[in-house]
Chain A
């Protein structure tokens, strides 16, 4: 392999200096002439009819622009997979915090008072607030049966396997809670409208073309009259995939009606209460295993709480379903999955997208299956981990040379696992501080599921400017994770020029082609691959024109590009997605190549459970993963460290307190995310096996680290305490309840 100059190196972030110096401009830093401010009046009840809206006293209402569903020129829904998510509730509300009215006024500070002064009268109707309530189907709140989506994924003959003699059957139920994204920058958008130019929308968002599509529907304007521009975005984690389309539509409606540009910025309380969160889940596992610990069959039921509208639930469910088997070889497996509607704000995309939920259940369950057959967690896994040539639960043949057993062993080594496990077992007996160590092995599919990438049909460009600078043209966005840097690295490497010569074209739908949404760990692998081929095209054009010949310097390249443009007007090369060979997927049977590539990982968590306060501290964390080629080691490490931190929060700290669909702890003082003082050293290790069809061998990284921490930590807690905890978030209160009951029983028994 040729030695690379830029790929694989920790080059600086493209936007890093601007961010560090405070020069980066986020949406609330922008202002337009004549701009006014918008705010949202939201529903207060779980479900029901809006009977009357009254504009209360003390507010100069005649100065306000007011928008209701009646003012929508196009269609009243935010276009995602279905068309059931209203832009503004029209007489009927399905969850607390649903938008009913929009207000705009030049005085930003007046808006909260105006919002509070709107009085809405409702007729309240019965509502449901959990998977359990929804599946009872006593109150139907969505469709005919509350079921937003269901799948059956089946391989082999599960029932026959469970009927085999001499097998051990292990059952378990696992659940996970909602999680808030807590991007540093809250949501916000600015919209402008004129009859001549149509609509322009600037926003803090992940997917400019998603917002674009929604705005076409809501405004009824033609494509060339809607323009969406992503500005610097302060974190997203999936939380700015779907909901920004809603805010965009609101800002646009106010701008169209008022005749002024309108800015809407959510404060933290509104952002937490009204926008999407990670889907809560429940998984029920029934596993058949031989007495010597070979997995025979799984029968899994996996359910999500989708919230009040379908939004992205079907695709989150799909990924969760496919990841339910974990990194194991199952001769037989059946996963029946359902996403249920509840009267909660719709749950949405969040780093991992269903996989953290189902993998939590699977990896917790595997420790329990191991115990049932008298094996250690690692020995049991050793006997069942997938190997090259075997098939996943969708029947996908693993063609990559993987070594899960070796990687697991290596993670255990780094963690000092064997020595610690033995020592903790010895020392725990007399201690009020119980120590434990736990393991999770898992996988994460990169890119869209199944035929998704084919439908996306992404298009990418690389062009040159008259000054001889090279630009990457994509709608893939930067929100802290490193898109700008990685894609420029790929272009510079491919073109054989300096990294500094390459820049990103603005993420503006009127400038860049649709390279798909910035989600699903697809940007480096898929979009990066397209940047690579577009860049190759650019280079070939220049060489074919006779203006450039190899070998060349970066300067020579720039001069050639300048001459080319002087002569021909423009220099641009486009590249469209082509599926790697042998990738087929059957949407009906849910079988085939679910993902072009998987990333693999083995994580080890070491914990202390303090039996005075029942507080869990994660003392050490080893994260080892195979992610294909690492294109930027600093960014990659940052992804893993951040993902592990977020995973620790998911497991032990972050609990959304609900009251009938309303988030009660919508402030960072009461919704507890871990701080630097709560995090262990996170030790990151990469194995790199270049993936043939990813940019310079890359696979997906971003979501993977979200999947492993929760099960590794709960497995460690089970080791420390001897108790199985199967639900997250696991807070001290939960541990206290269980362990205190156990100790008082033990004490009573000792006293007898």
Chain B
């Protein structure tokens, strides 16, 4: 451990109101810690600049999953284990259950939370592509009240998010889609478990008479923030899923992704694989349409 513990302060107010009051009284001074699976890695490496930590881990207000006719809402403090085991999530949002199941290891899934994953704002976060594919909404809360925005608008740039200094993520909302949608997700990581994504993709879609009626594709690790592939979707909407369309879509994809070389992979690999995954998903989409 490379940090000096006495330099840090950790408090546990025990209820959400108290935490929100603290955040609004001293905005920017306190950093929330949920599962700690990001924060403690930084602490261990001597790289945690936040010195005052407020634990939100015990807050039951943030740890529940609610389901009604049309929506499922997932509290920001829900662990990946909770998410992937939830029957409603499994049934209506299988991509999210899948992404949760390939995040880190079992130990990691027991502690890591969806709120921490999103607030950490890594372009490689595994929940993001699924949330983009499902057009999720995100609810933010502060002593001033709550606001709900499309998740897509939450990411503003590299590690920049639409979260005010006094706000917390309260929950993620997912609108149930008709049962007969196509869905696809794949993670290409450094290995089969305990792996940070080199690239991660999730998509949902519908076909009408052999043409793409709806499609939403989210991709991770190909841009400074998780990316909703709107340009690629534009090419696909209304088109038949043939070789020409797929080639067009691959081209459109390349014009909207901007991956980098980093310690885990290279930009050129990521570009190539992004195209290959897109092609794989479109061919599966077409085959799904044929089967129906």
Q: Which parts of A16-38 form the interface with B (CB within 8 Å)? A: none
Whole-angstrom distance between the alpha carbons of A269 and B45 in the complex?
8
Contact string against B for A residues 661-704, beta-carbon threshold 8 Å, 1 for contact and 0 otherwise: 00011010110101111100000000000000000000000000
Tell me which of A612, A667, A670 contacts B273 (CB under 8 A).
A612
Would you give the shortest CB distance from A174 to chain B, in whole angstroms?
23
Whole-angstrom distance between the alpha carbons of A737 and B273 in the complex?
11
In the complex, the answer to whether B264 meets A677 with C-beta atoms within 8 Å is no
Whole-angstrom distance between the alpha carbons of A467 and B272 in the complex?
71
Whole-angstrom distance between the alpha carbons of A224 and B264 in the complex?
51
Would you give the shortest CB distance from B104 to chain A, in whole angstroms?
10
Contact partners of A657 in chain B: CB under 8 A = 263
Contact partners of B188 in chain A: CB under 8 A = 613, 615, 732
Q: Is A582 an interface residue (CB 8 A)?
A: no
User: Contacts A612-B277, A612-B280 known; A677 to B191 CB distance under 8 Å?
Assistant: yes
Instruction: Return the chain B residue nearest A432 by Cβ.
Output: B280
Q: Which parts of B235-292 form the interface with A (CB within 8 Å)? A: 263-266, 268-269, 272-273, 276-277, 279-280
In the complex, the answer to whether B3 meets A675 with C-beta atoms within 8 Å is no
In the complex, the answer to whether B4 meets A113 with C-beta atoms within 8 Å is yes
Q: Is B178 an interface residue (CB 8 A)?
A: no
Please choose the segment from B10-18, B81-89, B192-200 that sits at the chain A interface, where 4 or more of its residues have CB less than 8 A away: B192-200
Q: Is A397 an interface residue (CB 8 A)?
A: no
Interface centre among A110, A267, A613, A674 (most CB of B within 10 A): A613
Whole-angstrom distance between the alpha carbons of A301 and B118 in the complex?
53
Would you give the shortest CB distance from A511 to chain B, in whole angstroms?
35
Instruction: Return the chain A residue nearest B191 by Cβ.
Output: A678
Contact partners of B192 in chain A: CB under 8 A = 675, 677-678
Whole-angstrom distance between the alpha carbons of A289 and B1 in the complex?
58
Number of interface residues of A (CB under 8 A): 30
Q: Is B46 an interface residue (CB 8 A)?
A: yes
Number of interface residues of B (CB under 8 A): 31
Interface centre among A110, A116, A267, A669 (most CB of B within 10 A): A669
**When A and B form their complex, what is the total count of cross-chain residue pairs whose Cβ atoms lie within 8 Å?**
70
Contact partners of B195 in chain A: CB under 8 A = 672
Contact partners of B266 in chain A: CB under 8 A = 733
In the complex, the answer to whether B191 meets A109 with C-beta atoms within 8 Å is no
Would you give the shortest CB distance from A298 to chain B, in whole angstroms?
36
Whole-angstrom distance between the alpha carbons of A672 and B189 in the complex?
10
In the complex, the answer to whether A675 meets B269 with C-beta atoms within 8 Å is no
Contact partners of A676 in chain B: CB under 8 A = 193
In the complex, the answer to whether A112 meets B265 with C-beta atoms within 8 Å is no
User: Contacts A109-B4, A110-B4, A615-B188 known; A678 to B265 CB distance under 8 Å?
Assistant: no
Contact partners of A112 in chain B: CB under 8 A = 1-4, 46
Whole-angstrom distance between the alpha carbons of A676 and B4 in the complex?
35
Instruction: Return the chain A residue nearest B104 by Cβ.
Output: A669
Q: Is A736 an interface residue (CB 8 A)?
A: yes
Q: Is B5 an interface residue (CB 8 A)?
A: yes
Instruction: Return the chain A residue nearest B273 by Cβ.
Output: A613
In the complex, the answer to whether B277 meets A733 with C-beta atoms within 8 Å is no
Instruction: Return the chain A residue nearest B5 by Cβ.
Output: A109
Q: Is A614 an interface residue (CB 8 A)?
A: yes
In the complex, the answer to whether B1 meets A672 with C-beta atoms within 8 Å is no
Whole-angstrom distance between the alpha carbons of A670 and B198 in the complex?
11
Would you give the shortest CB distance from B282 to chain A, in whole angstroms?
12
Known: A670-B264, A675-B193; 17 extra A-B contacts, CB below 8 A, are A112-B46, A269-B2, A269-B45, A612-B277, A612-B279, A613-B188, A613-B273, A613-B276, A667-B45, A669-B41, A669-B194, A669-B196, A676-B193, A678-B193, A736-B269, A737-B269, A740-B272
Whole-angstrom distance between the alpha carbons of A737 and B270 in the complex?
11
Would you give the shortest CB distance from A733 to chain B, in whole angstroms?
4
Interface centre among B1, B45, B265, B272 (most CB of A within 10 A): B272
User: Contacts A110-B4, A112-B3, A116-B46 known; A736 to B264 CB distance under 8 Å?
Assistant: no
B interface majority secondary structure: loop
In the complex, the answer to whether B191 meets A737 with C-beta atoms within 8 Å is no
In the complex, the answer to whether B272 meets A736 with C-beta atoms within 8 Å is yes
Q: Is A621 an interface residue (CB 8 A)?
A: no
In the complex, the answer to whether A614 meets B2 with C-beta atoms within 8 Å is no
Contact string against A for B residues 47-83, beta-carbon threshold 8 Å, 1 for contact and 0 otherwise: 0000000000000000000000000000000000000
In the complex, the answer to whether A670 meets B1 with C-beta atoms within 8 Å is no
Would you give the shortest CB distance from A665 to chain B, in whole angstroms?
5
User: Contacts A615-B188, A675-B192, A677-B191 known; A267 to B2 CB distance under 8 Å?
Assistant: yes
Would you give the shortest CB distance from A448 to chain B, in whole angstroms?
36
The 4 A-B residue pairs with the shortest CB-CB distance in the complex, in nearest-first order: A677-B193, A677-B192, A112-B2, A733-B269
Would you give the shortest CB distance from A539 to chain B, in whole angstroms?
51
Q: Is B110 an interface residue (CB 8 A)?
A: no
Instruction: Return the chain B residue nearest A676 by Cβ.
Output: B193
Contact partners of B277 in chain A: CB under 8 A = 612-613
Q: Is B190 an interface residue (CB 8 A)?
A: yes
The 25 sampled A-B contact pairs (Cβ below 8 Å) are: A109-B3, A109-B4, A112-B2, A112-B3, A113-B4, A612-B276, A613-B273, A614-B269, A653-B191, A664-B263, A665-B263, A669-B41, A669-B194, A670-B263, A672-B191, A674-B191, A677-B191, A677-B192, A677-B193, A678-B191, A732-B188, A733-B265, A736-B268, A737-B269, A740-B272
Would you give the shortest CB distance from B188 to chain A, in whole angstroms?
4
Would you give the shortest CB distance from B7 to chain A, in whole angstroms?
8
Whole-angstrom distance between the alpha carbons of A110 and B263 in the complex?
30
Instruction: Return the chain B residue nearest A270 by Cβ.
Output: B2
Q: Which parts of A102-124 form the interface with B (CB within 8 Å)? A: 109-110, 112-113, 116
Whole-angstrom distance between the alpha carbons of A574 and B268 in the complex?
64
Would you give the shortest CB distance from A37 to chain B, in whole angstroms?
12
Contact partners of A670 in chain B: CB under 8 A = 263-264
Contact string against B for A residues 611-627, beta-carbon threshold 8 Å, 1 for contact and 0 otherwise: 11111000000000000
Contact partners of A109 in chain B: CB under 8 A = 1, 3-6
Q: Which parts of B78-131 form the interface with A (CB within 8 Å)? A: none
Whole-angstrom distance between the alpha carbons of A540 and B268 in the complex?
72
Whole-angstrom distance between the alpha carbons of A551 and B280 in the complex?
74
Tell me which of B44, B46, B193, B269 contacts A732 (CB under 8 A).
B269
Contact partners of B2 in chain A: CB under 8 A = 112, 267, 269
Contact partners of A614 in chain B: CB under 8 A = 269, 273
Contact partners of A732 in chain B: CB under 8 A = 188, 198, 269
Instruction: Return the chain A residue nearest B190 by Cβ.
Output: A672
In the complex, the answer to whether A736 meets B273 with C-beta atoms within 8 Å is yes
Would you give the shortest CB distance from B202 to chain A, in whole angstroms?
15
Would you give the shortest CB distance from B158 to chain A, in whole angstroms?
19
Instruction: Return the chain B residue nearest A107 by Cβ.
Output: B4
Would you give the shortest CB distance from A251 to chain B, in whole angstroms?
19
